Amino acid sequence: MKRSIQTINPANEAVENEFPDWDMGEILPVIDAADHAYLRWRHLEFNERAVFFTKMAQILRERRAEYAQLMAREMGKPVTQGEVEIEKCAWVCDHYAQQTATYLADRYIETENSESFVTFKPLGVIYMIMPWNFPFWQVIRGAAPTIMAGNTIVLKHASNVFGCAVAIEKLFKDSGFPGNVFSTLQTGSRTSAEIIAHPKIRAVTLTGSEQAGQQVAAEAGRNLKKSVLELGGSDPYIILEDADIDLAVASCGASRMLNGGQVCVAAKRFIVVESVQEEFEYKVLELMKSYIMGDPLDTATNFGPMAKVKLRDELHQQVLQSVAQGAVLKLGGEIPDKPGAWYPSTVLTRVKKGMVAFSEELFGPVATIITAKDEADAIAIANDTEFGLGGAIFTRDVEKGRKLARDVIDTGTCVVNGFVKSDPRLPFGGIKKSGYGREIGEFGIHEFVNIKTVVVS
């Protein structure tokens, strides 16, 4: 009997759609076609490739509402947030259409030779494994630089957003791209090892869990292929004694509750110096109370269900374990008695080292408050993690904040008096168990090119 994969509406657990689960016999011709397309695509000039991405940006904006509703039905994102995601996808398309020729221009280096320069050439077919939490943005932000550089892509999207994956492939087609420059593989993770090993796959990129990253890195290493990994985070948001508390609370809340807290780079640990802990905690609690669960298709909703019941249940167990270990549950923490992957806005205080909420990533609408004795203690707590994706510092002394962000906090991104957001103009990625390599910006487009030296004697 042929395998199939269902997409389930997390708001009511109804089946949205069903897709055939491809085996390698169906996948291999797609990889071959992507390789064949690459042999032609690589020879186009940057301005010729840019035309297709400019058209894609236009179509994304035209279909903003349609795509937002699809995301809401498949993974529970409120439609207002979905429309913002689609606009951001259009932005990254425009950015690389305009900037790739600069980012990948030959770079001449003075040597004793008559001519020495570095040039940037595509690699071939790139295997992309993407998550469900930003089902359009994660794909488009990786595809725009990779394809503008001259590569082609085969995508394995998360199985609960296959409708989005199919829509993205159609988006490329409707934007006029040549066939097989971008292709979607309707397959689960069971085929990934064989796909990575395929001789026509030149590199792999994954955004996902630490466990998935370990598996992909192992397969890529075994086959001597480049990999880029963007994994989990336990982002520290440090509130110092001289912080603007209202700004800190608003930023922490916005970062924590975007997409129902299901963001790798969301604020995960609120680390507050004890002299301002009481005020900060009170205001965070009041803000979190204002987030009310609602239908993601309703434009008044800013907080929908989690993406899957299984993920909701795992989060709830982390909350219960933390409370058993001594954390104080100030808000939420109870599963509603109704169908769907619903979980309320939740606040844990008095969180300390050794507790689940201190050391593990809580991927959902749970705010974790940790009290530090002073600035030095707050920094030590912030860096006491296996993760290193993003972080933030709140202080009225901007120069001090800048120095701490630049020199002290161990993350791929650190923001002073704001919250972390990916931006097409800036590199994005982590250190430690948050992965390696960079996406977007100039550094992102250099990940999947041959940085080639040419010398003329």
Same domain, 245 and 165: no
Number of domains in the chain: 2
Active-site annotation, residues:
230, 264
Same domain, 200 and 244: no
- Torsion on CA atoms 349, 355, 360, 363, rounded to nearest 10: -40
Decide if 421 is inside a domain.
no
Q: What does the pLDDT read at residue 1?
A: 60
Q: Is the pLDDT of residue 95 over 90?
A: yes
Same domain, 45 and 134: yes
Same domain, 182 and 63: yes
Same domain, 100 and 185: yes
What are 43's two structure tokens? 């020879």
Decide if 423 is inside a domain.
no
Amino acid at 386: E
Which candidate, 132, 156, 144, places its Cα nearest to that of 21?
Answer: 156
**Which domain range does residue 383 map to?**
235-416
Q: Is the pLDDT of residue 331 over 80?
A: yes
Decide if 58 is inside a domain.
yes
Output the average pLDDT for the chain: 97
Question: Over the stretch 265-314, which tens digit does the pLDDT of each residue have?
Answer: 999 999 999 999 999 999 999 999 999 999 999 999 999 999 999 999 99
Kindly report the CATH number assigned to the domain that includes residue 365: 3.40.309.10
Same domain, 158 and 58: yes
pTM exceeding 0.85: yes
Question: Over the stretch 9-57, which tens digit does the pLDDT of each residue have?
Answer: 999 999 999 999 999 999 999 999 999 999 999 999 999 999 999 999 9
Decide if 191 is inside a domain.
yes
